[in-house]
Structure 1
Amino acid sequence: MRHRFTGLLFVALCGLAPALVGSLQHWSPWLWGFMSMVTVSGSLLLVMAFAGNGREPAGTDEPVEPEPAAPPEQPYAETRVSEAPLPSARDGYDFLFSATVWWRAAPDHADWSGSVSPALAVSSVVNRASSVVRHEDPARASFARYLLEGELGFPFTDRSGRVECTVADVTLTLASEDSERLRKLNNLRKDEEVWEHERQYERSKRRYLGDDVLKSTGSAVVWWLARHEEEIEKAVDMIGPLAQVAAAAQDQEVPDLFRHLLVPPVGAHDEATDEFVREEQVSVSERLLLLMEAADLKPDTDGYTVLVHRVMRTLQANGREDAADEIRRRFLLPYDDESDAPSYTAASPSENDVERDWGSPETDDSASAYYWDTPHSPHPPEDPDS
């Protein structure tokens, strides 16, 4: 009580001192009032601090009970998990889990010791790892490994609470065959996606061309002109081809309005085809007759007969007996009896004869009875030796 009175007296004196000094020095009332508040506050804090330091703590005489000593912490034992199969999100593709397992008895079972403690630790680790990766894609084994490291890196107890475990050196892989299958399937899936997009693009393009661009000749011309705005004259030349394309796209005939613009004109292909067929049907004798007419060789001239005989012998020499016989019947049998006609089967040309006929211009073809008959006589020439 005395200490409290002394403290209050000290505070009061400290508060009155600025007022006394201020009145003597003629301070403004605001100034000495502010100084009084400051000294009162400071003195009060000093009194409170002095009172707190001088008070003795209660109960210092009571004896302090010592805290019980914590039991010594048991060391971890080590065991190994090697390529334990863990299910993944895809059937038939298991992860292969390997890790180093550190285990010890839980604090509540420190006095419990059993030979099955490593098995409990491994079982707990495998079950916990399985619950983590069973929903992961096997193609993402590396990602799943990081999840396992984060989940199994902190100590945990098994379901019975008897073993405390922690895991290190985690590896998570796939069998090499499964990895190869997944790689192939992944490539096929990507190729199929690209192919499907290409098909969709082709369908869209066909719809655009068939239902819009080539819907009619006019729309085709407008489409072409939109792409070639400066080529008006060429657009006119393209009307015919575009009309054909538009008609083909719609499985229709070209409208009569544009048939005269087709390239080639209607019927030109048929005429060319007919001409080719007619040329194929012309026989050898007709072709030789056309050659005679083009060369202006008359049937009553020596050149006419010489050319017919040479063509016959050439065909016979090349094994074309049918063609040679056709020419003989056409040009050399103007007789009623074929037995009177000259035969040239045995008169095949020798090398000297061919050289004389084709290589020597000085040879007088009219002097050889083996190369032609006189066309003016209906009978073969007489043998010069008779």
Structure 2
Amino acid sequence: MSSGHKAMTLFVTVILGLIFVILGLSTDWPLWAWPATAALVLVIALVTHRVLTPKREAFPREFGPDPDLQFPEPQRQEQRIAHVALPSSVADYDFSFSATVRWLVLDAADDAPYINPAGLAVEAVLQRARVLTAQQSPNRSALVQHQLDGVLGTMRPDSSGRITAMAQDVSLSLPELDRERLAKLSNVRKDEDVWEHERNYERSKRAYLGDDVLKDTGTAVVWWLSRNDQEVEGAVDRIGLLAQLSAAANNDTVAPVFEHLVSPPATPYAEGDGGPHAPPGRPWAPGPDTSPSSNGAAPESSSGSFDSLDSFLVWFGFAPADPDLDLFAERLIELARAHDKSNVVDELRRRFTPAQPAVDDEEAGDATGAPQEPPPEPEP
């Protein structure tokens, strides 16, 4: 029985005794009641003692574990690492990795060598991160960062078995210059894919037209009818054209059976008189030579010059009755004059000047608007 239990039993007994004494004196108990009261107080004291006394334990406390003894909580340590280059799936494009590394030192044998927990923890975290990033594309850094949060978010032992490590506050990024380079390469690849598809489409179309549609005249006619099945007469009218197309596609001449259906090539003018559609004094036919000469004949180079000029105008796309032809001729004359080509200027004027009756030099000068040189003074 402990001192606390004894003190409580004594305190209850004294209090009850004082209560009974006060009651006996105030009510004038008889003499026989006092011994009975004293016996009752003793009984109450024994009952109180028995109630307050704890039960005996089956196993003594001194032989059991101390429940108040607490094991010290393991101390975790951490270290921040920043801007560590981790490889990606593309050479020379490295991620920039930052994280807070936390570790816990494990129990080891007494004769185990001394370790640097921070170094082992950082190495373990970087090794786990490198395995993941080396398989990822560099242009998906945001996605890889979230994957690293899950991979490095668990305490795992390192290769030495001396510590467990994890990482938190993970940050993964790609340098700005590398992002720009990857964007340019991506755009080039997309353009190249589009170009390759367009080229394949064009090659397929050429093969379809050359090897199938224009293989011969009959195939070309059937192809045209399949696309215009309501225009049979139109197909008949186009047999000559389709024959020419199929012959040109195969680098061959038109088959003799279709030659009568092929129209002769149109010529802009007939040699000698300019053709039926060329107006007098217009292109495609040399105009009459109005320049004075000793024998009244045109220069020997007139016809050749006019033929070359006509070809030049055809190449420029001028029609015989083109209203812009006069303006173009004036510009040619100005260009020839700027380069001091007087013979070309004369040829152009003869070519583009309509035939006129012969006039004297002064009237001709007024008609053309060109200043006439004064006649030479007679020598003395």
- Do the structures match in fold with TM over 0.5? yes
How far, CA to CA, are the matches of 1:256 and 1:187 in structure 2?
Answer: 54
Q: Show the counterpart of 1:179.
A: 179
1:249 maps to amino acid: A
Quick check: 1:105–1:113 contact (8 Å CA) kept in 2? Answer: no
How far, CA to CA, are the matches of 2:174 and 2:190 in structure 1?
Answer: 21
How far, CA to CA, are the matches of 2:132 and 2:257 in structure 1?
Answer: 76
Q: Within 5 A, what are the aligned runs for 1:81-160?
A: 81-108=81-108, 116-160=116-160
Q: Show the counterpart of 2:363.
A: 313
Q: Show the counterpart of 1:285.
A: 290
Q: Within 5 A, what are the aligned runs for 1:1-386?
A: 66=65, 71-108=71-108, 116-262=116-262, 265-269=263-267, 272=270, 276=274, 279-285=284-290, 307-309=357-359, 313-315=363-365, 318=368, 346=375
TM-score by length of 1: 0.55
How far, CA to CA, are the matches of 1:261 and 1:275 in structure 2?
Answer: 29
1:111-147: CA deviations, max 9, x gaps? 9997932232222211221122112221222232233
Q: Structure 2 vs 1, CA of residues 229 and 310 (structure 1 numbering), >3 Å: closer, same or farther?
A: farther
How far, CA to CA, are the matches of 1:108 and 1:67 in structure 2?
Answer: 26
Instruction: State the 1:191 CA deviation.
Output: 1.3
176-185 vs 145-154, which moves further: 145-154
How far, CA to CA, are the matches of 2:271 and 2:151 in structure 1?
Answer: 84
TM-score by length of 2: 0.56
Instruction: State the 1:84 CA deviation.
Output: 0.5
Q: Structure 2 vs 1, CA of residues 252 and 212 (structure 1 numbering), >3 Å: closer, same or farther?
A: same
1:179 maps to amino acid: R
Residues matched between the structures, number: 248
98-107 vs 244-253, which moves further: 98-107
2:267 maps to amino acid: H
How far, CA to CA, are the matches of 1:73 and 1:109 in structure 2?
Answer: 20
Q: Structure 2 vs 1, CA of residues 253 and 316 (structure 1 numbering), >3 Å: closer, same or farther?
A: farther
Quick check: 1:78–1:101 contact (8 Å CA) kept in 2? Answer: yes
Quick check: 2:272–2:285 contact (8 Å CA) kept in 1? Answer: no
Instruction: State the 1:161 CA deviation.
Output: 2.2
1:1-46: CA deviations, max 9, x gaps? xxxxxxxxxxxxxxxxxxxxxxxxxxxxxxxxxxxxxxxxxxxxxx
Instruction: State the 1:226 CA deviation.
Output: 0.1
Q: Which has the higher helix share?
A: 1
How far, CA to CA, are the matches of 2:66 and 2:239 in structure 1?
Answer: 108
Q: Structure 2 vs 1, CA of residues 247 and 138 (structure 1 numbering), >3 Å: closer, same or farther?
A: same
1:281-307: CA deviations, max 9, x gaps? 444239xx9xxxxxxxxxxxxxxxx94
1:306-359: CA deviations, max 9, x gaps? 9411687325774879xx9xxxxxxxxxxxxxxxxxxx9649xxxxxxxxxxxx
How far, CA to CA, are the matches of 1:97 and 1:114 in structure 2?
Answer: 29
Quick check: 1:153–1:167 contact (8 Å CA) kept in 2? Answer: yes
Where 1:172 maps in the other structure, the secondary structure is strand
Quick check: 2:84–2:96 contact (8 Å CA) kept in 1? Answer: yes
Quick check: 2:269–2:285 contact (8 Å CA) kept in 1? Answer: no
Where 2:73 maps in the other structure, the secondary structure is coil
The runs of 5 or more residues in structure 1 that have no matched partner are 1-59, 290-305, 325-343, 348-386
Q: Show the counterpart of 2:310.
A: none
1:269 maps to amino acid: T
Instruction: State the 1:94 CA deviation.
Output: 0.5
Q: Show the counterpart of 1:49.
A: none
Quick check: 1:260–1:266 contact (8 Å CA) kept in 2? Answer: no
How far, CA to CA, are the matches of 1:312 and 1:249 in structure 2?
Answer: 62
Quick check: 1:156–1:166 contact (8 Å CA) kept in 2? Answer: yes
Quick check: 2:145–2:172 contact (8 Å CA) kept in 1? Answer: yes
How far, CA to CA, are the matches of 2:270 and 2:112 in structure 1?
Answer: 108
How far, CA to CA, are the matches of 2:189 and 2:273 in structure 1?
Answer: 56
Quick check: 2:215–2:246 contact (8 Å CA) kept in 1? Answer: yes
1:220-243: CA deviations, max 9, x gaps? 110010001111111112212211
Where 2:97 maps in the other structure, the secondary structure is strand
Instruction: State the 1:85 CA deviation.
Output: 0.1
Quick check: 1:101–1:167 contact (8 Å CA) kept in 2? Answer: yes
Q: Structure 2 vs 1, CA of residues 93 and 233 (structure 1 numbering), >3 Å: closer, same or farther?
A: same
Where 1:91 maps in the other structure, the secondary structure is coil
How far, CA to CA, are the matches of 1:283 and 1:235 in structure 2?
Answer: 47
Q: Structure 2 vs 1, CA of residues 273 and 195 (structure 1 numbering), >3 Å: closer, same or farther?
A: farther
2:289 maps to amino acid: V
169-178 vs 136-145, which moves further: 136-145
114-123 vs 165-174, which moves further: 114-123
Where 2:358 maps in the other structure, the secondary structure is helix
Instruction: State the 1:246 CA deviation.
Output: 1.1
